[in-house]
Amino acid sequence: MPKPFEGLRRQLLEAGVAPSQVGRYLNELEDHLDDLVEAALSAGTSADEARVVALGRIGSAETLAGAMLVRPDFRSWSARAPWLVLPGFALLALAGGYILSMLFLVGAVRGFGTVTAGHMMPPGWLPGSSRPLFGFDRFALPVLIGWCIAFAAARQRLSLTWPLASMIAVAVVGAGLVFSADWPATPRHWEISVGTPLFDPTLSIGWAEYASSVLGTLLCMLVPAGIAIRMHGGSAPIDPEGRSKCV
């Protein structure tokens, strides 16, 4: 038996209603439909007819969608201001990842380092461990953030403009970052730095490497993004009239 409110779900998501709100509405509608069917059955109606009667009483997809859409506060922030939420989330997530990595390194030095000749020296295992961490921040983190954006955009049936712009921003900023740590062998100060050739062309990364890194990141993001959009039905019209049906 087809799910009775799938068309309504799609219609509401495309109108920007928050997925959690849509899910809750549909769950309650399904409960209500079950009650109506049960009541019709106990009144002696046949099973098929009971369902038709119940669907008629619960309301048409247009009525049910209209009741939800009159409240703008049911819309998700990513639908209300995608130009702010998506790039903002992407860049904040990147920054958050870098800050956590830096805090981890500083914490490791402070927690496990030794003081030699008045200088705090990092533990021996830290230089080796920092390389995969920097690799994660530069390659995996932007891709993971891109997947999150793609999944959210597909789930909420957002238009592709802002998700794509955010993914490109994450790739451009994230894939070009150069992390470096100066772990001293003799007692002196040590430093961890992060930079991008966008602002500091003297960094040890060529433009060709930078461009291929950005492209590679974008490719890694876009393949699963395409799958996510396909799984969620994309943003194609629901039927030739652009309206969904309840059944």
Of residues 57 and 110, the one with the C-beta less far from other proteins? 57
Report how far Cα 76 is from the mean position of its chain's Cα atoms: 13
- The full DSSP string for 83-124 is HHHHHHHHHHHHHHHHHHHHHHHHHHHHHH-EEETTEEEPPT
Counting contacts by CB under 8 A, is residue 29 touching other proteins?
yes
Q: How far is the CB of 17 from other proteins (least distance, A)?
A: 10
The type of residue at 108 is A
Tell me the chain's radius of gyration from C-alpha atoms. 26
Given 3, 57, 110, 230, the residue binding other proteins (CB under 8 A): 57
Tokens standing for 139?
Answer: 């390659």
Q: How far is the CB of 237 from other proteins (least distance, A)?
A: 23
Determine contact, residues 247/60, Cβ cutoff 8 Å.
no
Of residues 71 and 243, the one with the C-beta less far from other proteins? 71
Counting contacts by CB under 8 A, is residue 25 touching other proteins?
yes
Counting contacts by CB under 8 A, is residue 19 touching other proteins?
no
Counting contacts by CB under 8 A, is residue 35 touching other proteins?
yes
Counting contacts by CB under 8 A, is residue 32 touching other proteins?
yes
Tokens standing for 236?
Answer: 């194609």
The site for other proteins (CB under 8 A) is made up of 21, 24-25, 28-29, 31-32, 35-36, 56-60, 63-64, 66-68, 70-71, 73-74
